[in-house]
Amino acid sequence: MKYDNYENLLNMSIEEIKENYSMAFDFFLNYNLSNIDDSITFNNLIESLDEEFYITFGIEKKELYIKLVEFLKEFDQDEESLNIETITINGGHNKLKEKEDISLKIKAGEIISIVGPTGSGKSRLLEDIECLAQRDTPTNRQILINESIPSDETRFVMDGKLVAQLSQNMNFVMDLTVEEFLQMHSKSRFCKNQDDIVKKCFYCANKLAGEKFELTTKITQLSGGQSRALMISDTAYMSSSPIVLIDEIENAGIDRKEALRLLSKKEKIILISTHDPILALNANKRIVIKNGGISKVISTTDEEIESIKYIESLDNILLDIRHKVRKGEVLNRKEIESIVQEEVNDFVGTL
């Protein structure tokens, strides 16, 4: 919410202020005013507080209103800074010092996959974007925000607000239940309707995960796939970060396509490093990395989009085989060949 007019705050009830500005909960908590009557106006609150209150906090009566406005303005500035419509990757050079002849603009809502052999430099590109590189990393790349060079404040003060990163290793150390973890995140991010958000995140995470878990499950007991599903759901529903960087989720045992669909619905810029053809082709474009540099950028073609259906059918066959092996079943080669051939025939019949 934009805070263009603060004069109405004086005549608003405490309840209205909390409803309109979720971060105001922390303001009242900071001044030990969390248990006040929410039905009174802020102006009446100012008048009702005794002299001891103002002495304790070292402020005058009229300053409490000023403190509230200043508090809300801080979040107003952050919100404006998070309004990212595009990022642009201006090329640097590869490991051989060969120039990357590229300037790639990525719009909000777009999904970009990053492909290339192991060790080719996919993670380095994600790191350049995370730190909003300005020709000051080994690749000499430059990252622009809304076609402009980001300020030092944007780069260094807003750390963790612009970019949400989901790495390959999601290890929790806090001894919390899933519900406690989600509640903590919803409060720290000033989410409205926190109970509803927690329920949505939990439902979504279970939908993404291959193996179900409970709200009472300790997060330290979650598998790799469950942890990744929880963090994707958390990022989609709670994080205001407009840029999401994902480093290889194909081995996490989650619904990868649904995860991308969920994140892209939130109008975030998504870049995902992957070896998975399904993830790569579900992106709008894919960046090809070679020798530590951007070799080329390919827009996903209509023919490739059509091919995804067939690739997913083959992937489902492999997934079914994995389930059978895990359950201790004995595989039948002729049965597998028959299933694969049937999928091939079905696909050819649609051409």
User: Do 208 and 317 reside in the same domain of the chain?
Assistant: no
User: In this structure, are 165 and 281 located in the same domain?
Assistant: yes
136 part of a folded domain = no
Residues 214 and 279 in one domain: yes
Q: Could you tell me the two tokens for 302?
A: 């209509």
Q: Are residues 285 and 193 in the same domain?
A: yes
Which domain, by its residues, includes 269? 108-121+149-303
pLDDT digits 0-9 by tens, 184-217: 888 777 677 788 889 989 998 888 887 889 999 9
* 296 found inside a domain: yes
Residues 9-19 as b/e (b if ≥16 CB within 10 A, e otherwise) read: beebbbebbbe
Determine if the pTM surpasses 0.95: no
Nearest to residue 97, comparing CAs of 291, 336, 238, 313? 291
Q: Are residues 260 and 273 in the same domain?
A: yes
pLDDT in tens, 87-107: 999 999 999 999 999 999 999
Statement to judge: residues 282 and 335 lie in one domain: no
Average pLDDT, the chain: 84
pLDDT of residue 252: 54
Q: Is residue 264 part of a domain?
A: yes
Over residues 25-36, the pLDDT tens digits come to 778 878 888 788
Claim to verify: residue 285 and residue 319 sit in the same structural domain: no
Q: Based on the fold, state whether residues 312 and 298 are members of the same structural domain.
A: no
Q: Does residue 165 lie in a domain region?
A: yes
Q: Which residues pair with 104 in a beta bridge?
A: 89
Give the count of domains, the chain: 3
The amino acid sitting at 226 is Q
Are residues 20 and 55 both part of a single domain?
Answer: yes
